[in-house]
DNA sequence: TTGCCTGCAAACACTTTGCAGTAGG
DNA sequence: CCTACTGCAAAGTGTTTGCAGGCAA
């Protein structure tokens, strides 16, 4: 898998395993904490380096900013693309996919003579929990 | 205009004037440089403070990240909302507005029981300049 | 053995904050 | 006169980098 000239080390193993276990979006700090629980002497620098390696390898992707502005990562499911709704009140993140919207994007991009590479589409909304209180 | 308990000072005047002159997206560092050209002893902290004041006042908005990841601001035209295409090759930024897409967003958000507040929709694309070379 | 990988600490870029002095209204 | 605003420098954040030693292959 990562046998593309990359060495397999206990540190990378540990970080990779924890990262890939996550079903949700997570921040680097979480990964650092979790890894240090098991492997106390790992350095944050190594986690950063490993995460960017995993991103390049296509196993993770840096998806979005949380409602507080922190960078979040998620396991990259090559399957299908999705976008995000972030709740500004409780921070909850919901994924969605809308084919019609994707097509509209392609249309706009082409109309302006661009070739779309990727996009970042985040809707900031309120789930209503606060209002009900 | 900013007579909402806010004081008018030469520093704020200068920063505001330069900021509002910009037709394009700009980064804070640009604003700091430009202001210091005219008003050399202004402090970066003041520019930061002024920019956030202007954002709260609705005159500026923090719109997006450039292709290199820097935060960009733009003068806020209350008129109509638009989204952005950022060229990953040359950094060019094009604005677009697509009513159909906006409606699709509302539909998705409502379907998931959210109330949309705002959204950030950035398409990263290539303008093709590099390819032609 | 080779050189990629690690830990550590320092460097970094960007932004915020505490404080004492200044000046707007 | 009062207190918001400013400059300065220090402190924060989040992330990257240089280096010497260590270990996978």
Per-residue pLDDT tens for A28-65? 999 999 999 999 999 999 999 999 999 998 899 888 77
Q: Using an 8 Å Cβ cutoff, are A15 and A31 in contact?
A: yes
Nucleotide C16 C1' to residue B19 CA (A): 21
Mean pLDDT of the region A65-74 = 83
pTM: 0.84
Pairing of strands A115-126, B115-126: antiparallel
- Chain A residue with minimum CA distance to B123: A119
Write out chain B residues lying below 8 Å of A123, CB-based: 105, 108-109, 114, 116, 118-119
Mean pLDDT across chain A: 88
The pLDDT tens digits of the residues spanning B73-91 come to 999 887 678 899 988 888 8
CA-CA distance, A44 to A36, in Å (whole number)? 9
Is A21's CB less than 7 Å from nucleic acid strand D? no
pLDDT in tens, B111-124: 999 999 888 898 98
The mean pLDDT of A20-27, rounded to a whole number, is 93
Q: Which domains does chain B have, with CATH numbers?
A: 1-80 (1.10.10.10), 81-133 (3.30.1490.190)
* Per-residue pLDDT in tens (0 to 9) along chain B, 133 residues: 666 778 999 999 999 999 999 998 999 999 999 999 999 999 999 999 999 999 998 899 988 777 777 899 999 887 678 899 988 888 888 999 999 899 999 999 999 999 998 888 989 899 876 554 4
User: Out of B96, B115, B127, whose CB is closest to A126?
Assistant: B115
DSSP symbol at A23: -
Whole-number Å distance between alpha carbons of B48 and B45: 5
Nucleic acid strand C within 7 Å of B52 CB: yes
Residue A1 contacts B, CB cutoff 8 Å: no
């Amino acid at each position: 898998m990562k046998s593309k000239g990359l060495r397999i080390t206990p540190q990378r193993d540990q970080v990779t395993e924890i990262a890939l276990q996550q079903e949700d979006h997570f921040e680097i700090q979480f990964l650092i904490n979790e890894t240090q629980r098991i492997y106390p002497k790992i350095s944050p620098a190594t986690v950063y380096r490993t995460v960017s390696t995993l991103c390049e390898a296509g196993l993770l992707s840096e998806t979005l900013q949380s409602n507080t502005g922190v960078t979040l990562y998620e396991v990259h499911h090559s399957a299908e693309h999705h976008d995000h709704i972030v709740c500004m009140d409780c921070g909850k993140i919901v994924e969605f996919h809308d084919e019609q919207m994707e097509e509209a994007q392609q249309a706009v991009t082409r109309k302006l003579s661009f070739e779309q590479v990727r996009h970042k589409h985040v809707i900031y909304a309120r789930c209503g929990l606060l209002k009900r209180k």
